[in-house]
Amino acid sequence: MAEKLYLEDLYVGQSVKSRVLTIEAEEIVAFARAYDPQYFHTDPEAARKSLFGGHVASGWHTAALTMRLLVESVPIAGGLIGVKVELAWPRPVRPGDELRLESVIESVSPPRAGSDRGAATCRCTTLNQRDEPVQIMTAKLAVRARPADEGGGPA
Amino acid sequence: MAEKLYLEDLYVGQSVKSRVLTIEAEEIVAFARAYDPQYFHTDPEAARKSLFGGHVASGWHTAALTMRLLVESVPIAGGLIGVKVELAWPRPVRPGDELRLESVIESVSPPRAGSDRGAATCRCTTLNQRDEPVQIMTAKLAVRARPADEGGGPA
């Protein structure tokens, strides 16, 4: 993708893939101790007796790693600013999973009168090493229109 | 609230308040470096020139802290297991903000045939020290029905 994307650079069906990122057990435990202290996230041994049958990452950890991959792969000018999102976690993330993100632009709306930002909707699917979705997110982003003094397409 | 809540202990309109939690600039920077490396989260000085006019927390950081408050204040038996959520961030979270959570049960659905889990929908509003919502989340949770060998109400 281009260096900096303005609203005019986005189109429906536009698709981007991220790099791959591996999630490890220690990270899963550290994140969960801080933000989601439930035994199936913080205690790999006890987690065997949980609904998940083993140690799993917090869905919020998956969401946070997804944001990292989104920031790296979708360089919106002025930053990725989420207005609202929908998230589903169809299956758990386990230690050693290799996560990657596929993002597809689903809609682009022009700025309202008086605003320099329009909206874009992005469907962001986080996949594991078996190409199974572990998180499906639809995010509405506030995206800047290209300033009048920056003509032409993306650099 | 009770020690452990089963599906039968939840009812529409049930409301819970969490403790208050203060978010500090160093935490905002550390979370953002790991998961949302955008300058308005990682660089308090440069953030002054952003849309936000100052240093703000990642929405994912607010979501993660909200989960911590939810785990502490809503003790679902067997754990809080989110199936899907909707999130909106109506205003930014800034260093020193004092966050608290108000959770209200909006719906309760019985288990389908053959399952030991039903569903509950919870509207979780994260508020700052001025009682302004900084995050509004609607979460669909998978909640266990009370096992047959555990009669009676919550302990």
Nearest CA in chain B to A81: B59
Nearest-neighbour CA in chain A from B79: distance (Å): 7
Q: What is the DSSP string of A56-75?
A: ---HHHHHHHHHHHHHHH--
Q: Which CATH architecture has domain B7-144?
A: Roll (3.10)
Give CB contacts under 8 A, 24+ apart, made by A50-57.
A50/B78, A50/B79, A51/B78, A51/B79, A51/B81, A52/A92, A54/A94, A55/A25, A55/A28, A55/A94, A55/A95, A56/A28, A56/A92, A56/A93, A56/A94, A57/A23, A57/A28, A57/A31, A57/A32, A57/A92, A57/A93, A57/A94, A57/A95, A57/A97
Give ipTM to 2 decimals. 0.92
Whether B51 and A80 lie within 8 Å, measured CB to CB = no
B88: which chain A residues are within 8 Å (Cβ-Cβ)?
83-85
Going from N- to C-terminal start, the domains of chain B cover: 7-144
Which residues of B sit within 8 Å Cβ distance of A? 31, 34-40, 50-51, 58-60, 63-65, 67-68, 71, 78-89
pTM of the prediction?
Answer: 0.93
Query: Is there a contact between B36 and A60 if contact means CB atoms under 8 Å apart?
Result: no
Return per-residue pLDDT of chain B as tens, 155 residues. Answer: 557 999 999 999 999 999 999 999 999 999 999 999 999 999 999 999 998 999 999 999 999 999 999 999 999 998 999 999 999 999 999 999 999 999 999 999 999 988 999 999 999 999 999 999 999 999 999 999 998 876 555 54
